[in-house]
């Protein structure tokens, strides 16, 4: 990867720009519109939102405000947990399109797997939900479909019960939490892994080992985290509403982390999962 508009190839031949712009916790309205427009002006071509972020309206506005052709952009949104099941998923997708003000999205993801903690028949629910995504794919209003927060156990069941291998699995991934089992399974099955919370939702930026490495490269700690993800062959989704940080996070293509430093970052054990565990979430 040499630039932010370079792409990974998904398993269905669709190209996906190699850094996505995260929008979780970005307030709807002007903040979402301005930050998305600023990201696009600074070279990002991939925007990640979700129905539950309640900012699809502002994200759509930012996309239009940027003036960049829709076809040059890659937009992801996600199905929220309350809308699982075949019919509800079809309706939720329509609602997301309407709120975004778009006539298609590039990637539609199941946000979280239904789990055993809540549903005896969780595998059946996940398969039915995913079959609605397959139907939407067939309609041409989405270019690729996938999942988020799916562990190996969820993926194995999904692959058994559905027809189209997910193009993407979006999971928590950052220094100190690299979910090797899930990543290896995805690589073996040609599912691209996207890294959410690549900066540990900001918490990793205080990590002393990362700060020390960043100084050696004359880069920021955030840039080291994002570059680390890219060098692992995973697609990072850094979020910011601050223009200077949006710019900084895009400048990760003029240096390489050495193999030795990659190992040090891989072995950072004093950070771990920050988000929820997919088998434990009660929602
Ligand atoms: N699928 C899922 O379940 C899921 C879960 C979590 C996240 N995600 C996706 O992944 C994206 C990223 O994850 P995330 O939002 O958890 O957090 P993140 O990108 O790891 O970190 C974002 C935080 O770091 C700050 N920040 C960003 N760049 C910085 C820089 N250069 N210097 C200092 N601080 C910086 C941001 O502050 P400001 O914004 O104030 O600048 C914000 O507080 C989300 O936005 C979302 O799109 C998906």
What residues does each domain of the chain span?
A: 7-266
Can you give the pLDDT at residue 269? 75
Kindly state the percentage of the chain with pLDDT values over 90.
97
Mean pLDDT of the chain: 97
Going from the Cα of 201 to the center of ligand 1, the distance in angstroms, rounded, reads 5
Pairing mode of beta strands 15-17, 7-9:
antiparallel
- Note if the pTM is more than 0.95: yes
Q: How far is the CA of 244 from the centre of ligand 1 (A)?
A: 14
Distance CA 272, CA 283 (A): 22
The predicted structure's pLDDT at residue 278: 97
The top-level CATH class assigned to 7-266 is alpha beta
Mean pLDDT of 60-89: 98
Q: What percent of the chain has pLDDT over 70?
A: 100
Residues near ligand 1 with C-beta < 6 Å? 22-25, 48, 111, 148-149, 170, 196-202, 205, 220, 222, 237-242, 245, 248-249, 275
Q: How far is CA 199 from CA 3, 95, 204, 222, 275, in A?
A: 20, 31, 6, 6, 12
Q: Which atom of ligand 1 is nearest to the CA of 109?
A: 1
Catalytically annotated residue among 44, 53, 130, 196: 53
Strands (E), the chain: 7-9, 15-17, 21-22, 46-48, 74-79, 105-110, 142-148, 168-172, 192-196, 235-236
Looking at the predicted structure, is the pLDDT value of residue 267 above 90?
A: no
**Number of neighbouring beta carbons within 10 Å of residue 127:** 17
Name the nearest CA neighbour of 63 among 73, 76, 77: 73
Nearest to 129 by CA among 147, 117, 142: 147
8 A C-beta contact, residue 4 and residue 43 = yes
Question: Is the confidence at residue 272, as pLDDT, over 90?
Answer: no
Cα 97 to the chain's mean position, in Å? 18
Beta strand spans in 149-268 (E): 168-172, 192-196, 235-236
- In this prediction, residues 108-135 reach a mean pLDDT of 97
């Amino acid at each position: 990867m040499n630039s932010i508009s370079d792409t990974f190839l998904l398993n269905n031949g669709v190209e996906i720009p190699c850094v996505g712009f995260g929008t979780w916790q970005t307030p709807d309205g002007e903040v979402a519109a301005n930050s998305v427009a600023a990201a696009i002006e600074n070279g990002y071509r991939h925007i990640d939102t979700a129905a539950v972020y309640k900012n699809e309206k502002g994200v759509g506005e930012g996309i239009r405000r940027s003036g960049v052709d829709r076809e040059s952009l890659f937009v992801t949104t996600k199905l929220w947990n309350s809308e699982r099941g075949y019919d509800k998923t079809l309706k939720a997708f329509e609602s997301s399109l309407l709120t975004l003000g778009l006539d298609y999205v590039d990637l539609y993801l199941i946000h979280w797997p239904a789990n055993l903690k809540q549903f005896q028949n969780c595998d059946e629910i996940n398969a039915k939900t995913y079959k609605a995504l397959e139907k939407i794919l067939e309609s041409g209003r989405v270019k690729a479909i996938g999942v988020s927060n799916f562990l190996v156990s969820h993926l194995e069941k999904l692959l058994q019960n559905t027809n189209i291998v997910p193009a993407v699995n979006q999971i928590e991934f950052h220094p100190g939490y690299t979910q090797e089992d899930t990543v290896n399974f995805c690589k073996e099955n040609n599912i691209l892994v996207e890294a959410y919370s690549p900066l540990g939702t900001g918490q990793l930026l205080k990590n002393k080992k990362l700060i020390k490495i960043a100084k050696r490269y004359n880069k920021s700690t955030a840039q080291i985290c994002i570059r680390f993800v890219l060098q692992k062959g995973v697609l990072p989704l850094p979020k910011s509403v601050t223009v200077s940080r949006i710019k900084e996070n895009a400048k990760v293509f003029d240096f390489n982390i050495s193999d030795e430093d990659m190992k040090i970052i891989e072995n950072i054990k004093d950070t771990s999962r920050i988000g929820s565990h997919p088998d434990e979430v009660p929602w």
